[in-house]
């Protein structure tokens, strides 16, 4: 399928200018002036008076994320449909390793949520909640498959929290396999104390969440 977008104002990192864009399959094949006279396309769209911009990439989304006894409202179907209407054509969501489970189980579960339901391209970060000998080995395979980063938390004791030793071991592993560690670096143990004090002082509105942090 070849689609020609003609007469639009193309916006790039270097500036903007009026030109045509030829899309072949899912790739931009050619950009130039008055391409319509020299190429054939299955569909032509007149973008005169409109901007033609690259699709946005949202690298931090939570689709169907279970947390605190509830779930994030958006599914991969509703969330990516809304994203596409807003010009976001790729998301990177967070697959979750449940404590006591393998990284593979968590990644497979998120693939199952997304497959056949997403309107945009998608990839995954891997939330790593249980650092041990087995999951450290799994990190190598996930990096090889295209999941290059692992999110660890110094917050949420009993759910996602990792101590300094676990974080350091994960960093040692990514130093070997080329992956990255993404840190959620709130002090969860201190926050729990402050949150309890905030609640006990009578602050129960949503602002208390921010004040406790």
**Angle separating helix axes 133-145 and 164-177, nearest 10 degrees:** 40
* Residue numbers in the chain where pLDDT is lower than 70: none
Residues 95, 126: contact at Cβ < 8 Å?
yes
At residue 193, the pLDDT reads 96
The strand pairing partners of 51, in sequence order, are: 9
Q: How far is CA 119 from CA 65, 162, 197, in A?
A: 18, 34, 44
- The per-residue pLDDT for range 173-182, each reduced to its tens digit, is 999 999 999 9
Q: Using alpha carbons, list the distances in angstroms from residue 58 to 86, 88, 112, 195.
A: 11, 7, 20, 30
CATH of 56-207, one of 3.30.565.10, 3.40.50.720, 3.30.479.10, 3.20.20.140: 3.20.20.140
| Contact partners, residue 131, CB within 8 Å, separation at least 6 | 152, 162, 166, 167, 169, 170
SS3 sequence of the chain: CEEEEEEEEEEECCEEEEEEEEEECCEEEEEECCHHHCCCCCEEEECCCCEECCCEEEEEECCCCEECCEECCCCHHHHHHHHHHCCEEEEEEEEECCCCCCHHHHHHHHHHHHCCCCCCEEEEEEECCCCCHHHHHHHHHHHHHCCCEEEEECCCCCCCECCHHHHHHHHHHHHHHCCEEEEECCCHHHHHHHHHHHHHCCCCCCHHHHHCC
Summarize pLDDT for 19-71 with one digit per residue, the tens.
999 999 989 999 998 898 888 899 999 999 999 998 999 999 999 998 878 88
Residues of the chain with CATH 2.30.40.10: 2-52
CATH class of domain segment(s) 2-52: mainly beta
- CB under 8 Å to 7, separation ≥6 — which residues? 18, 20, 46, 47, 48
Where do the CATH 3.20.20.140 domains begin and end in the chain?
A: 56-207
């Amino acid at each position: 399928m070849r689609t020609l977008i003609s007469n639009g104002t193309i916006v790039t990192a270097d500036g903007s200018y009026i030109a045509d864009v030829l899309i072949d399959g899912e790739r931009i094949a050619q950009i130039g002036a008055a391409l319509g006279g020299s190429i054939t396309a299955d569909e032509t769209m007149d973008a005169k008076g409109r901007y033609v911009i690259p699709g946005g990439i949202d690298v931090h989304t939570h689709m169907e994320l279970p947390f605190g006894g509830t779930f994030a409202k958006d599914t991969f179907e509703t969330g990516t449909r809304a994203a596409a209407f807003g010009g976001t054509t790729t998301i990177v969501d967070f697959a979750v390793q449940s404590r006591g489970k393998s990284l593979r189980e968590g990644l497979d579960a998120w693939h199952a949520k997304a497959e056949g339901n997403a309107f945009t391209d998608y990839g995954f970060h891997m939330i790593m909640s249980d650092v041990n000998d087995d999951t450290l080995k799994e990190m190598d395979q996930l990096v090889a498959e295209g999941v290059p980063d692992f999110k660890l938390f110094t917050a949420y004791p009993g759910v996602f929290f990792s101590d300094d030793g676990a974080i350091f071991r994960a960093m040692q592993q990514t130093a070997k396999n080329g992956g990255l560690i993404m840190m959620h670096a709130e002090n969860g143990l201190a926050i729990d104390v402050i949150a309890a004090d905030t609640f006990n002082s009578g602050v129960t509105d949503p602002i208390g969440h921010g004040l406790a942090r």
